[in-house]
Amino acid sequence: MDDFDFARLTYLVVLGSAVVFWFFAVNRGSMNKVLQQAMIWGFLFIGVIAAYGLWDDVRRTSVPQQMVSIEGGQIELPLSADGHYYLTADVNGAFIDFVVDTGATDIVLSEADARRAGFTPSELDYIGRAQTANGEVRIAPVRIDRFAVGGIEDVGVRAVVNEGDLDGSLLGMSYLQRFNSVEISGGRLVLTR
């Protein structure tokens, strides 16, 4: 710790001590009530921190997840609260979340997901163009070595990497057409091979 950090720490300790001393001096007549309120605020603070830390676990257990039946060659996806169907796939060893998009021609990887799947976006050839809701973007064709959902696996799958701002990746018709049946019923999307 250098002298500057020590001086800042000393200043903060003195300032904090002055605030605590002032607080106790002003509230010395009703100390029980002040301590009770301080404990309530402390528990609320701890509760908020615990809820924030556990949110992913709560969300995973309360939101229905995709089901894969290897024997029947089926993938069953529940309708999400935002009105979309999401599929999680193993893309070259990286688990990537896709939005099922029947308006997309191909599997479209965001640059972040492409990096996770082993592609280097800065080294790709962005030779194609695609029209999106946000306008025209450049795209780079790639081949995914392994695309797996549970035991359903495809190799050498064609995809594109989107150079534009894309929050997540899209699962388009080129993948959906690999299935014999695509059925939407009762808040479920069922893909059957």
* Beta carbons of 149 and 89 less than 8 angstroms apart: yes
In the numeric block, the tokens 């688990």 are attached to 95
| Nearest residue to 116 (alpha-carbon basis) of 143, 89, 93, 136 | 93
Domain locations along the chain: 3-62, 86-177
In this predicted structure, what is the pLDDT of residue 17? Answer: 86
pLDDT band of residue 23 (cuts 50, 70, 90) is confident
Over residues 103-156, the pLDDT tens digits come to 889 999 999 999 999 999 999 999 999 887 778 889 999 999 999 998 889 999
In this predicted structure, what is the pLDDT of residue 21? Answer: 81
Over residues 48-107, the pLDDT tens digits come to 887 777 766 665 555 556 665 556 788 888 888 888 999 999 999 999 999 999 888 999
- The CATH number corresponding to 86-177 among 3.40.710.10, 3.40.190.100, 2.40.70.10, 1.10.275.10 equals 2.40.70.10
DSSP H stretches of helix in 63-192: 111-116, 173-176
d(C-alpha 188, C-alpha 77), whole Å:
6
3-state secondary structure 15-39: HHHHHHHHHHHHCHHHHHHHHHHHH
d(C-alpha 160, C-alpha 114), whole Å:
9
pTM: 0.64
